[in-house]
Amino acid sequence: MTEGTVLHADLDAFYASVEQRDDPSLRGRPVIVGGGVVLAASYEAKARGVRTAMGGRQALRACPDAIVVPPRMSAYTEASRAVFEVFHDTTPVVEGISIDEAFLEVGGLRRIRGAPSVIAQHLREDVRERVGLPISVGVARTKYLAKVASAVSKPEGLLIVPVERELEFLHALPVERLWGVGKVTSAKLREARIHTVGDVAEMFEVELIQLLGPGAGRHLHSLAHNRDPRPVQTGKRRGSMGAQHAIGRGQHSSAELDLTLLTLVDRVTRRMRAAGRTGSTVTIRLRFGDFTRSTSSHTLSQPTAHTLTVLDTARLLLASRAGAIKERGITLIGVSVGSLDDQPEQLSLPLDVTSGAELDSVIDAVRDKFGSTSLRRAVQVGKRDLPAVPQLPD
């Protein structure tokens, strides 16, 4: 049996698992993290029909005896950092893709650590012993197939896909296992009597293009044949920085939405300045009351990390969706700045202490010294701060 050398490690029900780890009374019981909207659910809750992004009332109807706990973002960030320490102790080639998952390349470690399957088993044991969390690992020749394998192995499993049997394994899976196949694409494929990845693999690329369009057609044709040439990359810097906040169902005033938007933009641009990054593409992501989503973006003429510049753009994007918000309600707002550059922001002349960049720097310095809530904008005074969404450890 020939083993691939790519590992995909993915923590199981991450937020809920941290809560169960830290509170023994929650272990083995259905746990929901988040009240108005489900941020995470334990496997006990998932077995009862609770899903991430589900409304809190709907989740409790599905699982009335669930225990609802508020999110503790600092605990999740700390746990993530500890897990990534285990990853880096396993191999120097680690590509983090979110706070709770990463790709690891172990091809050069056979002589000192053993076969990839052995390394994967030790990794699972190390995460459990050192951090106290369950993790699933997939081992395969490509990143795509390793990620599929870890998902199939959940919860707390290990699945090795031998190179000789990778297409046999892949082609038996439902078509929804292909990256990029959501509800809409799945409906189109199943309407065309395409139910498995093997069905996709039997089609000509031109047929998929006619059915799904050029981008999706070529993408799914390649994945169905396990063609994924991407290597595991370490040290890759983020292409964007963002933050989001679930605001729960119900009516929300324009002032409330603007305050949420301001707080998110403030958080993102401060992180950008701390990292020495500027960006030019502002994007807002919305989730409506009926759980449909919307994404809109605008590219600025030059990169910036200036809070008010990004905020003005985000406000225009939010205003463009006012009709949909009024009609369908809104349960989540997200803001990100993309096309990040390492070049410092170019200041306007003449320079003076009232310039936007100068003001941002002063605000950052005060918050760095006295805490993030030591200096607030007038509209934020007396308001509860949004919980910080943990980011992938650098």
Instruction: Give the CA-trace dihedral at 238, 393, 86, 131, to 10 degrees.
Output: -140
Question: Given a cut of 90, is residue 164 above it in pLDDT?
Answer: yes
Q: Report residue 206 as tokens.
A: 């031109």
Q: Report residue 315 as tokens.
A: 């406000």
Q: Which amino acid, 111?
A: R
**Which residue, 80, 68, 59, 89, is CA-closest to 26?**
68
pLDDT at position 55 is: 84
| Topology given in CATH for the domain delimited by 172-224 | DNA polymerase; domain 1 (1.10.150)
- Does the global pTM surpass 0.85? no
Among the listed residues 3, 44, 95, 101, the single catalytic one is 101
Question: Given a cut of 90, is residue 163 above it in pLDDT?
Answer: yes
Give the model confidence (pLDDT) of 193-242 as tens digits: 999 999 999 999 999 999 888 888 998 999 999 998 889 988 666 678 88
Domains of the chain: which residue ranges? 1-162, 172-224, 240-380
pLDDT at position 348 is: 42
The matching CATH number, chosen from 3.40.640.10, 3.40.50.10610, 3.30.70.270, 3.30.479.30, for 1-162 is: 3.30.70.270
The matching CATH number, chosen from 3.30.530.20, 3.40.50.10440, 3.30.1490.100, 3.30.413.10, for 240-380 is: 3.30.1490.100
Q: Is 162 helix (H, G, I), strand (E, B) or coil?
A: coil
Give the model confidence (pLDDT) of 300-311 as tens digits: 888 888 999 999
Q: Report residue 358 as tokens.
A: 């100068």
Catalytic annotation on 101?
A: yes
Is 1-162's fold the same as 172-224's?
Answer: no
